[in-house]
Amino acid sequence: MNSYLDSAVKSISELVRYDSSKKKRTRHAPFGKGALECLHAFLSLAESLGFETHDYDGYAGEVLFGEGEPFAILCHLDVVPAGSGWTKDPFGGAVEDGKIWGRGTVDDKGPAVCCLYALKQLKDSGFVPKRCIKLIVGCNEESGWGCIAHYREVATMPDEGFSPDADFPVIYAEKGILHIRLHFPAHKPPFTYFKGGTSVNMVCDFCEASTRSVDLERAESFGIEVRKKKLFFHGKCAHGSTPEKGVNAIGPLLRYFSDGCEAAKRAYECVFADIYGMKNLQDETGNLTISPNIVQYRKGDLQLVCDIRYPATLSEKDVYSYLKKFGVKYETLSHQAPLLADKDCDLVQTLLSVYEECTGKKAAPVAIGGGTYARALKHGVAFGPEMEGDEAVIHQADEYISVERVNLLLEIYAKAIEKLTS
């Protein structure tokens, strides 16, 4: 077992106790008090381990090790909202059954801590890097990347690096990410209230609506719970990039109201039924996915906020050409261009060799639908912490990271950093 394991487990548990999901901005906390406190705690930990740190106005932080051409390790300390369905305290940081439980253990506080202790391990061993390693921790990865925008304004982003915020063996490509809001005009709809979802990149796991009258048999056929004139559906949360792993709670209610409400019918046809075949767009990075994760009805307007992940060799214009077919107003909330690196470059091949050395498994670079800070670099890739066969816990209830995985990450990240900065 790694000699830094106990310390890393303790630090992960402590950081998880901060609810660092995006909250109301204050004068000194651009993403809310919890995110700022978590950032301060991480930087204080790094200082206690002997590293120089910088706090960039509460937006992001930085841990420095070495001198020379900069090399980035990009992590984030913010999390998505806890959501429902937990059997553990999402911000308790409990260490039980060989696991650390809580929101952010995998995404991405756990890997951030492992990278920090990997630096500590190298430092204590006498390793002197030939590059300036910048362990950068942002506080707004899950909801807009304002942290990265601010960092670019006040500091210098390295050209090369990796982000420990995805999968092993190494991610060479990430789909483009487009968040949009669709507006379906609803004149005198059969519902007076319609709402669901908490975050654009989390599959909606709960949706509710109020109506003037209820067709109980029809509601039950869609698995909808009825209480007087209120309708409820409980789904299953998942990451917005893998909607197939969840159960979207919005769809059943749209189907229920589609008989007699053109707005609901149209919304269901365009987004869930995919009548225009937008999900058929594909390349080596996979098919386009669309996950309608937030819904609300406001003054004659049924609004759907959707998380779209499109193939890396395509452009947002290809997506817009399909959205225009919907025939409704849409607005772009955010966009991140795809990541596509050369599979045979030194960065990819070095990380791949480290993974194979530490796990004994032969592997090839892969593409994902998720989006990481790696695309903030001119030459970046994503590297861990998840592996094929892992239980899907990111953005879901009862997120956890095993102590065994923490131990492996300490080894992998230390070796990777050493090879890439020697």
- CATH number, domain with residue 225: 3.30.70.360
Residue type present at position 230: K
Q: Is residue 327 located within the same domain as residue 380?
A: no
Could you tell me the mean pLDDT of each successive run of 10 residues in the chain, 422 residues long? 94 98 94 98 98 98 98 97 94 98 98 98 98 98 93 97 96 94 95 95 95 93 95 94 95 95 97 97 92 96 97 94 96 92 95 97 89 92 95 93 98 98 97
The DSSP element (H or E) to which 256 belongs, if any, is helix 250-257
Bridge partner list, 154: none
Q: Is residue 112 located within the same domain as residue 22?
A: yes
Told to judge if 141 belongs to the known catalytic residues of this protein, a careful annotator would answer yes
Length of the chain: 422
What pLDDT is attached to residue 55? 98
Q: How far apart are CA 43 and CA 56, in angstroms?
A: 11
What pLDDT is attached to residue 280? 96
The DSSP element (H or E) to which 298 belongs, if any, is strand 289-298
As for how many domains the chain has, the answer is 2
Q: Is residue 204 located within the same domain as residue 299?
A: yes
Catalytic annotation, pick one of 19, 37, 108, 141:
141
Q: How far apart are CA 136 and CA 131, in angstroms?
A: 15
Q: Is residue 92 located within the same domain as residue 136?
A: yes
Q: What is the Cα Rg of the chain in Å?
A: 22
What pLDDT is attached to residue 144? 84
Where is the domain boundary, 295, 310, 336? 336
What pLDDT is attached to residue 88? 97
Q: How far apart are CA 31 and CA 271, in angstroms?
A: 31
Q: Is residue 77 located within the same domain as residue 96?
A: yes
Token pair, residue 317, equals 């214009």
What pLDDT is attached to residue 370? 78
Catalytic annotation, pick one of 19, 62, 78, 108:
78
Q: Is residue 318 located within the same domain as residue 351?
A: no
What pLDDT is attached to residue 371? 81
What pLDDT is attached to residue 411? 98
Sign of CA dihedral 372, 376, 381, 383: negative
Contact (Cβ atoms closer than 8 angstroms) between residue 22 and residue 143: yes
Range of the domain at 235: 176-336
Q: Is residue 86 located within the same domain as residue 152?
A: yes
> Is-cis flag, bond preceding 385, omega within 30?
yes
pTM, two decimal places: 0.81
Residue 312, helix vs strand vs coil: coil
